Amino acid sequence: MATKQINMGVLALQGAFLEHINMLTGIPEVTSVITVRTAEELNSVDALIIPGGESTAMALIAERCNMLEPLRAFVRAKPTWGTCAGMIMLADEATGAKKGGQQLLGGLDICVNRNQFGTQKESFETMLHLPEILGEELFSAVFIRAPVISQIKSDKVKVVGRLERQIGETKAETIVAVRQEHLFATAFHPELTRDNRLHQFFVSMALTYKQ
């Protein structure tokens, strides 16, 4: 029986999209990985990663490129993974935004707090248990100006990762990874490690939703 294949997209309006492409390359089930900047490119993929970067800039560029509504429709229908800024974009609500707020894609029934850990100088790496995804094996998670999930707004949202220890004023057990049906979000940057297990997980997850 032939292995199911999938066409993956990485939103490439702003942020660390090349690192995600590198992580996806070589996963056997991935037929192709394309950078997504237009609605036409978005319509050609089965699943999407929204990378880390600057969520306000990402939203502004998406608005100028007439991509906000196509992206909103996509994330409500097809597998999407948001990392760091991508998690903010997927949230229904965000606090800590600049004056005037920012556009969000929504879809995830969560509220996030932007830049929870401060400036880039407060970046850190910590080991996490993600038992629903990786069993008992630890994952080394890189946090850069990262958000956290401050509120779960629906029982559809499944918590799959929490901080193992207190970081600054942010308490241990703070939520940093969730899944809601076909949506997946992490506050950290798996693409900045050499460990592609979360990318493999997302590919497997996306395949279960492929028509």
Of 19, 20, 182, 191, which one is the catalytic site residue? 191
Find tokens 């879809």 and name the residue: 107
Whether the Cβ atoms of residue 158 and residue 54 lie closer than 8 Å to each other: no
191 is catalytic: yes
Of 19, 84, 182, 199, which one is the catalytic site residue? 84
How many Cβ atoms are within 10 Å of 48's Cβ, its own excluded?
A: 21
189 is catalytic: yes
> ∠ at Cα 95 (184, 177), nearest 5°?
25
Binding residues for L-glutamine: 53-55, 114, 144-145
How many Cβ atoms are within 10 Å of 25's Cβ, its own excluded?
A: 12
Q: Are strands 158-162 and 175-180 parallel, antiparallel or unpaired?
A: antiparallel
User: Who contacts 29 (Cβ-Cβ below 8 Å, separation ≥6)?
Assistant: 3, 4, 5, 6, 203, 204, 207
Binding residues: 53-55, 114, 144-145
Q: Which of 71, 76, 5 shows the shortest CA–CA distance to 37?
A: 71
169 is catalytic: no
Active site residues: 84, 189, 191
